[in-house]
């Protein structure tokens, strides 16, 4: 018996044409979005790296060495230092002049904000070393940790410093990992002093809770580090007090 093979012709209907056109447009839009998002990510990373470079440049320009005030001096050491100062008053004067010059150096952001470095912060455990800028703003927080509120560096009171959490190794991203006993080193540029602080508390607060900035320290020199939680829903507070 002969078999008759019948091939059924596939007709492309207007509806199929419309769907194919829609899929092409959808693919093109997706491709454009991927390119835009990739470009935005690259640009954002470039800006972060550039801001950190600016921070490093400021730190390099303000690389001063002050008298280490972290250890209590015994009588002999105090006498020796006093004699040195009396014998060389020009050295102390020169240091003060250099520090004042550093304090007076002004930088300007792209947005026209003026700022200057007032101190440096070093946290050996998390490999952090940055200048601390004189003002806090969205733009300045992209460049370095900033003076937020309270006493001035290494003065009696609560010196509050804010820094970004980029969820990597930059700025204050690793501050939430600090534990009691970890050391934070502050060098102020006004008097050239270097003081060590020991972490004694860490907790989270809402972004509108200003209680961590209280200046009631009972005569101590304290510092407060402020940054965001990884989900940006709260603030991480790290408290430290002078090592005596």
Domains annotated for the chain, with CATH where assigned, are: 16-242 (2.40.260.10)
Average pLDDT over residues 223-240: 94
- b/e per residue, 149-158, with b = 16+ CB within 10 A? bbbebbeebb
Alpha-carbon distances, residue 16 vs 11, 27, 191, 218 (angstroms): 9, 17, 78, 79
pLDDT tens-digit profile of 6-31? 444 455 666 666 666 666 666 667 66
Q: How far apart are CA 102 and CA 80, in angstroms?
A: 28
Residue in the block written with tokens 């440096």 = 120
Alpha-carbon gap, residue 66 to 191, rounded angstroms: 8
Helix axes 89-104, 75-87, angle to 10 degrees: 80
DSSP 12: -
Task: Please report which helix (H) or strand (E) contains residue 76, including its range.
Answer: helix 75-87
Higher pLDDT, 21 or 132: 132
Structure tokens at 80: 């020796």
Residue with the bigger pLDDT between 92 and 126: it is: 126
* Residue 65 binned pLDDT confidence (cut-offs 50, 70, 90): very low
3-class SS of residue 107: strand
DSSP codes, 158-194: EEEEE--B-SSSSBTTTGGG--TT-EEEEEETTT-EE
Instruction: Let me know: does 199 contact 179? Beta carbons within 8 Å.
Output: yes
CA distance 237 to 229: 10
- 111-120, 126-135, 232-241: range with lowest mean pLDDT: 111-120
pTM of the model: 0.64
């Amino acid at each position: 018996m002969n078999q008759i093979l019948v091939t059924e012709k596939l007709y492309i209907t207007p509806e199929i044409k419309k769907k194919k056109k829609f899929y092409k447009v959808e693919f093109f839009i997706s491709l454009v979005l991927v390119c835009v998002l990739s470009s935005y990510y690259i640009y954002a990373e470039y800006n972060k790296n550039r801001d950190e470079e600016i921070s490093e440049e400021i730190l390099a320009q303000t690389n001063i060495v002050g008298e280490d005030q972290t250890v209590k001096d015994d009588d002999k050491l105090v006498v020796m230092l006093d004699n040195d100062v009396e014998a060389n008053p020009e050295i102390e004067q020169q240091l003060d002049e250099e520090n004042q010059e550093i304090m007076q150096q002004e930088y300007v952001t792209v947005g026209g904000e003026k700022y200057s470095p007032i101190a440096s912060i070093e946290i050996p455990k998390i490999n952090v070393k940055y200048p601390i800028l004189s003002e806090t703003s969205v733009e300045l927080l992209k460049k370095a940790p900033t003076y937020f509120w309270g006493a001035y560096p290494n003065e009696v009171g609560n010196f509050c410093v804010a820094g970004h959490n980029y969820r990597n190794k930059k700025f204050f991203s690793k501050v939430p990992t600090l534990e009691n006993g970890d050391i934070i080193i502050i060098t102020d540029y006004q008097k050239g002093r270097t003081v060590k602080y020991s972490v004694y508390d860490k907790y989270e607060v809402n972004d509108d809770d200003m209680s961590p900035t209280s200046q009631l320290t009972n005569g101590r020199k304290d510092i407060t580090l402020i940054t965001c939680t990884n989900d940006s829903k709260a603030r991480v507070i790290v408290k430290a007090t002078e090592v005596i």
